[in-house]
Amino acid sequence: MKRRSLIKAFTLSASIAAMGLTWTVQAAETIKVGILHSLSGTMAISETSLKDMALMTIDEINAKGGVNGKMLEPVVVDPASNWPLFAEKGRQLLTQDKVAVVFGCWTSVSRKSVLPVFEELNGLLFYPVQYEGEEMSPNVFYTGAAPNQQAIPAVEYVMSEDGGSAKRFFLLGTDYVYPRTTNKILRAFLHSKGVKDTDIEEVYTPFGHSDYQTIVANIKKFSAGGKTAVISTVNGDSNVPFYKELANQGLNATDVPVVAFSVGEEELRGIDTKPLVGHLAAWNYFQSVENPVNKKFVADWTAYAKKKNLPGADKAVTNDPMEATYVGIHMWAQAVEKAKSTDVDKVREAMAGQTFAAPSGFTLTMDKTNHHLHKPVMIGEIQDDGQFNVVWQTKEPIRAQPWSPYIPGNDKKPDAPAKSN
């Protein structure tokens, strides 16, 4: 009896050991991929859809056999719009979860928070949002726009006859590094075009700011001095009360056009856009662009949102950072296939010159030296259905200038990131 029990116990423990071994083998057969986006707090309005797009893209790659014969396994964390928490969660993804790559961040302050962690641990971050430039890291690939791929062309447009011939500029932003650095570049650019400081107003509000009554009244006063454009680097959920206040005070696009760098289809979903028709946004992709790749991209996203019962699935939209997320994940997968490895140094090398036929309708190229995508520039007018009509775009993708020529001393900066230790 004892012997039989012993045999049973041995058989059971052997089975458990075998199961454990199987689980270990299964775990080794996946490639872990980190997703680092705010799913709560002031930035959730913008970042949640990037997490969902990342998951859709991973599903798409897995459905075609994964990468190097292995399935991608997403590891999702919520840094909750808390900038120090981004660094903690980034470290957790790299050291505990052992991810091969991280796709994440929206604000530059979150990216600046995680950057030392990725450089220390030689992790790899794909950053999908337009930003202020003035940075180049061997551990980051930037799939959003640098200032010469968004901010500068947008201001040139509103200064042109087609864009309204603006002579005065109200620079309104959220108070952190991206708006302040972008506006430093724009002020220098405007000076180079003969615009005086008396014709430039610069105002900042905190994250989560909701009362724009006084600011919109001040925009109206400022615009009395000549044809004015508002250049908005307001981020997150503050965009909703800002645009509502524009409508409340009857400030329409023919009087004072607003050109925004952080407002797209997603941010406009919860707003009555009829009073906002004609206001502008500058990006490198809009949902409304017509081409076969985008038609499939939008259809796939709409179907995915419904299948997963995502909030607002009946009004699912795509936007620029979602497209940049999609492109970045596919490019990384291509680089891993080329390198036949997820080793960061090998993938970094394989990323140089990667191309991808993007939903924007352009074939995008990862620059061979500066870790930035070559991207087209598009300016869109808000329509009454919350979509954008593209009123201007470049004929070809533009190479990024991470170091703006409008900041003194940048001409001496290197065109490639210094190698990490």
| Threshold 0.85, pTM exceeds | yes
Per-residue pLDDT 10s for the chain (421 aa) are 444 554 454 454 544 444 444 444 444 689 999 999 999 999 999 999 999 999 999 999 999 999 999 999 999 999 999 999 999 999 999 999 999 999 999 999 999 999 999 999 999 999 999 999 999 999 999 999 999 999 999 999 999 999 999 999 999 999 999 999 999 999 999 999 999 999 999 999 999 999 999 999 999 999 999 999 999 999 989 999 999 999 999 999 999 999 999 999 998 987 889 989 999 999 999 999 999 999 999 999 999 999 999 999 999 999 999 999 999 999 999 999 999 999 999 999 999 999 999 999 999 999 999 999 999 999 999 999 999 999 999 999 999 999 999 999 998 888 888 765 4
The residue type of 122 is N
pLDDT for 248 equals 94
Strand order in the sheet with 363-366: 355-357, 363-366, 373-374
CA dihedral 133, 281, 326, 310 (to 10 degrees): 130
Q: Other CB atoms closer than 10 Å to residue 176's CB: what's the count?
A: 20
pLDDT for 5 equals 52
Whether domain 148-286 has CATH 3.40.50.720: no
Task: Specify whether the CB–CB gap between 132 and 150 falls below 8 A.
Answer: no
pLDDT for 369 equals 97
**DSSP string computed for 197-249:** GGGEEEEEE-TT----HHHHHHHHHHHTTS-EEEEEE--GGGHHHHHHHHHHT
Find the helix packing angle between 177-192 and 151-159, rounded to 10°.
Answer: 40
pLDDT for 6 equals 46
pLDDT for 270 equals 77
pLDDT for 271 equals 84
**DSSP string computed for 182-202:** HHHHHHHHHHHTT--GGGEEE
What is the residue extent of each domain of the chain? 148-286
pLDDT for 48 equals 97
